[in-house]
Amino acid sequence: MITFFVGIVFIAEMIIAYQLIALIKKCDTKISEINDKITAIRPNIDKSFCSLQIGINSCALAVNKIQIKLSEQKNKCKIIIIKHLLSLILLLTLNLNCKKVAAVFDLGIAINDFLKLARKSACTLEI
């Protein structure tokens, strides 16, 4: 009876081993197919990554140019404001009779220069 039981267990183990081997072979063929597909499209993937890298570098350069241009415009605006504030302080310290007219005139010139600079920077901002 024991030999019969051992024989049945052995046959069951053989069936299970055969099914596992068949499953492993099926997985191996699927992995080989996927590997072939990836190998076939790899040049396209490499080209796409290169294009993406070029695009990112171009965007970074454009942002850097914009940052430099904005810092230049900021410095120009600071210089204009400082000039007009100094001229206003000079007019106030001289205590001229026409100081109110001169201050209003100076403020108008400052606003005009600032608007010209803003229009020019909006038109000449290049990437």
pLDDT at 122: 59
Cβ 125 vs Cβ 66: under 8 Å: yes
**Which structural domain range is residue 86 located in?**
2-124
Return the pLDDT at 73: 87
For 34, 76, 86, 90, 103, the CA distances from 93, given in Å and listed in that order, are 84, 26, 10, 5, 12
pLDDT profile of the chain (127 residues), mean per 10: 80 92 95 92 90 94 92 85 77 62 72 76 55
Q: Which of 45, 113, 44 is nearest to 84 (CA)?
A: 113
pTM: predicted TM-score of the whole model, two decimal places: 0.47
Q: Count of domains in the chain? A: 1
Residue ranges of E strands in the chain: none
Note the pLDDT of residue 102.
Answer: 66
| 90/95 Cα distance (integer angstroms) | 9
